[in-house]
Structure 1
Amino acid sequence: MGSKFMITVRKLKLTIINDDETKRNEQYKFIRDSQYAQYQGLNLAMSVLTNAYLSSNRDIKSDLFKETQKNLKNSSHIFDDITFGKGTDNKSLINQKVKKDFNSAIKNGLARGERNITNYKRTFPLMTRGTALKFSYKDDCSDEIIIKWVNKIVFKVVIGRKDKNYLELMHTLNKVINGEYKVGQSSIYFDKSNKLILNLTLYIPEKKDDDAINGRTLGVDLGIKYPAYVCLNDDTFIRQHIGESLELSKQREQFRNRRKRLQQQLKNVKGGKGREKKLAALDKVAVCERNFVKTYNHTISKRIIDFAKKNKCEFINLEQLTKDGFDNIILSNWSYYELQNMIKYKADREGIKVRYVNPAYTSQKCSKCGYIDKENRPTQEKFKCIKCGFELNADHNAAINISRLEE
C-alpha cells in the first residue's frame, strides 16, 4: 500500500458464534482441516521449487527454474489431492508465500549453503485475505465485535473489560469497522491452550509530519452546560465548547425512566418466562446506556484531539480526577474518567503529551489578574473578578487557568 501506511499486527482472541453445538464443532474442525491442507500445500509447492532449483545447478535464471516458478499457480496439478477449505483461497496464498520465502532464502545465503530450504510446520497459521474478514458490531446496542469469515463462519472477538489496553484496542477495532484502518493478509491458529487466535494485520495511515508549537497547551475544562470547554494557553481567543450536557442528561433521563418502568413491572411478576424477559430487557437497557455513554465519549474525545491537532498543541492539560471525582449529579453520572482515558490514548497516537494537573481554584481564579475568590463566580455560567472587574464565560475562564498549569 506504499509508504503512506504503517503496518502493525494485533493478536485477537476469537470464538465461533453458533447456537448449534454440532455445527460449531464442525466449523472449528473446518479451520483445523484447512490449516492441515495449507501445511501440505506449502511443503509440496516448496519441494517443487527446490527440485527445479537443484536440477538447474542452483541457477535461478535458468529456463527450467523460471518455467517451474511460472507454472506454480492455482491450477497446478500438485494440489489435486489436497482438500482445501471452501472460500479460503489457500492455493493462491500458498503460491505467493512459497515464492516469497524462496526468494528470501536465496538473498539470505541459500546458494552459499548458509540457509536451509524452508520447511513449514503443521501448526503454521492459516493464511486468510483481509477482504475475507468482515468486522462489525453485533447490533446497534452492543459493543460486541463480530467477524464474518468464509464458509458462513462468524467469530466473536473476545476482549475482557479488565484486559490491558481495552479502550485502545476497542478504539482500533472501531477504526477497522468504520474503514479508517485497512485489514491486510492475516492468519488464524490455535495456541498451546487450544484457544483460537487471529493475527490481524492492519494498515494504519501515517500521520502528517506537523510540528507542534513549542509549549502550546490545550486546557480542557469539564462543565455543567458543556461537557468540555477547551482553550489555548498562548492565545485565549482560540477556544471552543464541545458537546451539550443537556443532550447528555436528557438521554440518561430516558434510560433511567425505562429502567424504573421495567423494575416496577418486575415487582408484579413473581417468576417464570415473564420475569426472565423483564430481566433480559433490563440488562439490554443497561448495555444500551453504557454504549451510548461510550459512543458519546468517543465523539467528545475525538473533537478535543482534532482541535489540539488543528492548533498544533504540544500538550493537553486534563484535570487530575478519580472515578468518583464529582459531586454534581450530571457529572458523576457521566463517565468523565473514561473520557480522560480516551483522550489519553488518542493523544498518544498523535504524539501529543497529556498532563494531569491539579484543578484546585481554577473555577474561582481570575485568568487575567490571578485573584482567587469564590465570589468571582456569581452564577454557573458567569465569571466576574471582584478585584479587577474582568468578565468572561466561567467555563472559558477555567479552561484558560487549566491550560496554564503544569504538572
Structure 2
Amino acid sequence: MATKVMRYQIIKPIDCNWDLFGKVLRDIQYDTRQIMNRTIQYCWEWQGYSSDYKIAKGEYPKTRETFGYSDMRGYAYDKLKSIYQRLNTANLTTSITRAVQRWKTDTKDVIRGDKSIACFRADVPIDLHNKSMNIEKSDDGYIVALSLASNIYKKELDRNSGQFSVLINEGNKSNRDVLDRCIAGQYKISASQILREKNKWFLNLSYSFEISKPDKSRDNILGIDVGIVHPVYMAVYNSPARRSISGGEIDNFRKQVQKRIKELQLQGKQCGEGRIGHGIKTRVKPIEFAKDKVANFRNTINHKYSKAIVEFAIKNGCGIIQMEDLKGINTDNVFLKNWTYYDLQQKVKYKAELEGIEVKLIDPQYTSQRCCKCGYIHRDNRPEQAKFKCIDCGFEVNADYNASLNIATPDIDKIILEFLKCET
C-alpha cells in the first residue's frame, strides 16, 4: 500500500462567506497547536514519571494500570476533549495521534540531549480525519465537504452543521485524476491536512492505493546514465533500445535565471525607496523569487523525466532499473551540483515501484571507462566528453550510451571488480 499527498488551493467556501470560514480555520488552527503541545507535555511528564518509577522499583510502570489507558493517546484525549471543544472529535483524535507519534519518534534523541522537545508553531496544519472529508464533482468544479466544527462550536457559530463545503482549484490533469479516483473509490482517502501559506489556505489531500506487484515477465534491465550533455541516457541490456534526453532545456533555463539574478543584485545596489523597505529582506525578495522559479522548474522537469524513464522501462519489458549511486558525486562538477539528480532518482524510484519495477543503485566507478563490448577498462577509452573509443578492441560509440549499457549489465559492480583484480 502506497500513500501520496496532493495539494489543492481552497478557492472559496460554498455555504458561508470568507470572513466566517477564515475565522473558523484560524480558531481551529489555534486549538490544534495548543492540543498538540499539551499532548507533548503529557508525554514528557509520563517519561519523567516512568524514569523515576524504574529507579525506585526496578521496572517501568504500565500505562493502563497507571492511567487506565493503553497509551498516551487515550489519556490525552480524555484530558483535552473538555478543554478544546471547537474541533470535530475525529480531527481532535487525529491531532493527538500525530503529536504522540512525533514524541515516539523523538524520544531517544530528546533523552540523549540531541534534540529539543517538539514545540508546534502557530502555523501548524489543521488535521482532518479521513472520515471528515467528502469529495464531489459539480458543474462548478470539485467540492470538498470538510467536517470541522463540533456540535458546541456550530451552535456558537449559529450553524445547523459543523461541516463546511469548499470549492478547490483542481489544477492539472494529474490533480483531477486523483480527485476522480478518490470519488470512484479507486483511491482511499487518508488523514489529511489544511494549511495556510502566504495568506492562502490549501488542502493537502492524502490518499492511498495498492502498489503493483513485480511483473515477473519483465526480465530486462534498463541502465540510466546521468551527465552533462545528456541529463539522462537510457539503454536496455542485450537490446538495441535506447533513448536520450538533451540537457539544453535545463542548462538554458538555469543560465537565464542566473543572468536575471545578477541583474537583480545590481539593481538592489542602486534601488530606490520602493525596494529599500525594511532593509535587506526587501532588497533580496526578487532574488529569492527567482531562486524559487529554479526550484519549481527542477521539480517539474524531474517529474517529467522520471515519468519518461519509467514509461520507457515498461515499454521495453524492464523489471529492473539500474542507476548510479550518486552519494559520492564529484563536488567539482558544477552542472551536477546545480541540478538535483538525487531528486530525479527519488522520483524514478517512487514511480517505478508503483509499476512493480525494482530500482537498484550501482557503483558508478569505471562505468564510463569500460568498453561495453569487450569489457576492457582504461581512462584513455574516453578521449572526449561525448566520445568513447576502446583502445583494446577499437569499438567506438557515444560515451553516454556506452556508460548506460554498462550500468544496465547484471552484476556490473562485481564484473568491474574482477577485471581490476586481474589487471593488478
TM-score > 0.5 by shorter chain: yes
The residue aligned with 2:229 is 225
CA distance, structure 2, for counterparts of residue 240 and residue 282 of structure 1: 36
Q: Which residue of 2 aligns with 1:253?
A: 255
Alignment of 1:4-403 (within 5 A): 22-28=19-25, 125-131=131-137, 134=142, 176-177=174-175, 179=177, 182-184=181-183, 200=205, 211-214=216-219, 216-235=220-239, 237-242=240-245, 244-269=246-271, 273-275=275-277, 278-322=283-327, 324-403=329-408
- Output one character per residue of 1:53-84: Cα deviation in whole Å (capped at 9) or x when no partner: xxxxxxxxxxxxxxxxxxxxxxxxxxxxxxxx
- The aligned amino acid for 2:237 is N
Mapped to 1, the partners of 2:177 and 2:247 lie a distance apart of 30
Distance 1:175 1:204 in 2: 19
User: What root-mean-square deviation, in Å, do the aligned CA atoms of Structure 1 and Structure 2 show?
Assistant: 4.3
Q: Displacement of 1:126 after TM fit?
A: 3.7
Specify whether residues 188 and 347 from structure 1 end up closer, same or farther in structure 2 by C-alpha distance, changes over 3 A only.
Answer: closer
- Number of residues of Structure 1 aligned to a counterpart in Structure 2: 274
* Unmatched segments (≥5 aa) in structure 2: 30-128, 144-162, 195-200, 414-424
Letter in 1 for 2:409: R
Q: Using the TM superposition, give the Cα deviation of residue 223 of structure 1 relative to its aligned residue in structure 2, in angstroms.
A: 2.3
The one-letter code sitting in structure 2 at the alignment partner of 1:213 is: R
* Larger mean Cα displacement after TM superposition, 315-324 or 285-294: 315-324
CA contact (8 A) 1:357 1:405 kept: no
SS at match of 2:321: strand
Alpha-carbon distance between aligned partners in 2 of 1:190 and 1:318, rounded to the nearest angstrom:
35
Q: Alpha-carbon deviations, 1:250-286, whole Å to 9, x = none?
A: 1100000111111111122386654565433222111
Q: Distance in 2 between matches of 1:188 and 1:320?
A: 34
The 8 Å contact of residues 302 and 343 in structure 1, kept in 2 or not, is answered as yes
Name the one with the larger helix percent. 2
1:233–1:386 Cα change, 3 Å: same
Per the alignment, do residues 353 and 188 of structure 1 end up closer, same or farther by CA in structure 2, a change over 3 Å counting? closer
Quote the offset at 1:239 in angstroms.
1.0
State the distance in 2 between where 1:343 and 1:124 align.
Answer: 28
Cα shift readout 1:343-369 (whole Å, capped 9, x = no counterpart): 111111111111110111111111111
Report the 3-state secondary structure (helix = DSSP H, G, I; strand = E; otherwise coil) of the residue aligned with 1:131.
strand
Kept in 1, the 8 Å contact 2:224–2:232? The answer is yes
**Aligned in 2, Cα 1:134/1:258: closer, same or farther, shift over 3 Å?**
farther
* Distance in 2 between residues matched to 1:332 and 1:398, nearest whole Å: 20
Q: 1:224 to 1:9 in 2, by over 3 A?
A: closer
Q: Which amino acid aligns with 2:25?
A: Y
- Equivalents in 1 of 2:271, 2:354: separation in Å? 51
Q: What is the CA-CA distance between 1:332 and the residue it aligns to?
A: 1.9
Residues 326 and 332, structure 1, Cα contact 8 Å, conserved in 2: yes
Q: Tell me, in whole angstroms, the C-alpha distance in 2 between the residues paired with 1:201 and 1:11.
A: 4
| Cα distance in structure 1, aligned partners of 2:352 and 2:358 | 7
- The CA distance in 2 between the partners of 1:26 and 1:127, in whole Å, is 19
Residue 87 of structure 1 corresponds to which residue in structure 2? Answer: none
Q: Which has the greater radius of gyration?
A: 1
Shift of residue 375 of structure 1? Answer: 1.1
Alpha-carbon deviation of 1:175?
6.9
Q: Which runs of 5+ in 1 are unaligned?
A: 1-5, 33-122, 136-148, 157-172
**1: CA distance, partners of 2:324 / 2:190:** 42
Contact 2:8–2:204, Cα closer than 8 Å, also in 1: no
How far apart are the structure 2 equivalents of 1:260 and 1:281?
11
- The percentage of counterpart residues that share the same residue type is 35
C-alpha distance 155-24 of structure 1, shift in aligned 2 (>3 A): farther
